[in-house]
Every structure is written in C-alpha cells, then in structure tokens.
Amino acid sequence: MTTPKIEDDEEADVDFGLTSHLDDDGKPRIVERHLIVPPELAGLRLDHFVKTQITRLSRTKIQAIIDTQLRRADGFVPKSSTSVAAGEHYIIRREARPEPPCPRTFGLLNEDARMRIIDKPAGLPVHASAKFYFNTLTRVLAERYPDEPEQQLCHRLDRETSGCLVIARDREAAAFLKTAIAGKDKTTKQYLAVVHGQPPWDSEHTLDTPLRLSTAADATRIPTVRVLADPRGLAAVTRVRVERRGAGYALVRCTLVTGRQHQIRVHLAEAGFPIVGDKIYAHGDDAFVEYCEEGLTPELAEQFVLPRHALHAAKITVPHPDGGVVTAEAPLPADMVGLF
C-alpha cells in the first residue's frame, strides 16, 4: 500500500512560535505539571519526591518551586518537609516563558483513517523539554487535530533532524506501529546526510562499529549525550552509499539495519566523514561546550556551516495496521540542497 504525497497549502505560512506562550489576550499561559506519588515513593519528603520526578533541578530550585508554584490537588499548601503519601496528586503551575523560535508546522506525506506520515522540519522538537513546551510537535499535532485525542507518535527524531515521522491515529494502530517499528518488522528507514569529505562509497558499504553511551568514567565533558564507538558496545549496523558529490561535501544515503541512539552520526564520524553541522561529533568537545554556553556565535556558525546537523529522514516503509505496507518519502530540505 503506497500513498502519494499530499500537498499542504498551510506550509506557505510558517509559524515560528514567537508568541506561542501567550493567550489570546497577550498574557502568559499557565503551564501545569502533574505529579502522582507511586507507592514505592510514599514517605519521602516532598522535595525529595519532586527531585525523583524532575532530576535536572537543584534542591534549592525545587524548594523555591514548592514555595511558589506547587499545591496538592485538593488545595493543600505543603512544605518541602511534608511527607508524601501514595496516590497523592501534586500540581506545579507557572507562567509560560518565551521559547526559542522554531517552525511550528509540518508537511503531510501520507494519510488515511489509521495513520499519518509527516515531514517534520528541522528545529521542531518532538516532546517538551526544559526550553520547549508549546513549540513541540506533540503540541502542534494537538492544535492541528484537536478531535483526535488518541493520536500518538510512533518513533522519534532529534530536534535538528528533518523528515519522515509516523503518527498513529488510534490506540490500536499506535500499539501495532510502535511494535513494528521497534522490532524492524517490515520496516525500513533511510536517511540522507551531507558529510564533510569524499567517502569512497560509490557502491553500498557497511559500517558496523559497536556503540555505547558514554559515562562519567570516560572523562568526556558531555557524558549525558555522547555515544561512543566501543568494541564492547551494542551491535550497530548502517549501510551507506554516496548519492551526490560537491566541493568538499557528499550526500550519503544511510539505511539503518539497527537503530541505536545517534547511530548514523557516530558511524559517519568514526569513518572520517562527520555530518555537516553536527555539534557533538564533528568538531570536538570544546566547540560543543562553547555552543551550549554562548549559543551560535559567528565563529561557530562559520565552523559548523549549517545551524543544524544535515541529517534527513528521507524514506520510511512500515506495515499498515490493516495489512500491506506504506512507503513515504520526504524531499531533501532546501538547506541541505544548498550545499551542492
């Protein structure tokens, strides 16, 4: 089962979310986070419980949130030292803050009654994070399809990665598609990447360096996000082939055999051909740390070439919940085309 691309006229008017945190009267929206105490955490101090739910926050910040933003669902005003009980419901309410601009839109590639495949733009995060709440794909989907409360994303793409993403429109379809995609059952994912240099892969070549997550013991300055090549790591296999060459760059088609975190990015970098714009694997820790601390300075922009890594989920084939398969292709974005 193959569905032709559906043109979407709404894409001509891109919304970058500069005012997405404001209501119709121009006032900040109220963001709520709900915390339910599980039985195994009953008896903890409230601040210790909140730390288990929002691990990135310091104890001082958590105590400030409890003092100013947190209430129990029945209206009780707790203290940091309050002991929590199983099943208690706490709500954190705060005013929404301005968020980094990003495209709050997407292209529609395939659609039927059970599923959609969309073309996610680079820069749009999939889920909420410390910086993004309203400027996320999950929020944009809810706004665009308000009558579909059961819709679910069936896999993920990094914020900077563009391209094909599968959306289920009901719970049964979501369970089927998530299982199929995770298990590679009749599922194929192909990515296009623009890399530095000229790889010798005019015919298909296999990259199979095992990968693992870095730890504090690796003495890297960015242990929580880096993936390392390691013969003791998990098996990882990517098939690669050069599709186009330019002055200093090459366009490489990458077919995933396994689906490890950052697999394509690490495999290409380990082979000596890092992806253009890859802040973690192309220019060393110093450049990435500087980017995190200073943002995209003119010097870093020149070094990175693109403000995002040049990786695009170009084609996906998945089984359909009702039988058969669906194939979708997302056109190469203009920023990647512009490198040739």
Q: What are the catalytic residues? A: 158
Of 111, 118, 120, the closest CA to residue 320 belongs to 111
Of 299, 262, 302, the closest CA to residue 281 belongs to 262
- Cβ contact 266:311 at 8 Å: no
| Token digits of residue 221 | 């300055």
Q: In whole angstroms, what is the distance from residue 117 CA to residue 141 CA?
A: 12
| Token digits of residue 178 | 């998530």
Angle between helix 59-68 and 46-53 (nearest 10):
110
- Cβ contact 207:195 at 8 Å: no
Please count the other Cβ atoms lying within 10 Å of the Cβ belonging to residue 152: 18
Per-residue DSSP letter, 43: T
| Token digits of residue 192 | 């296009």
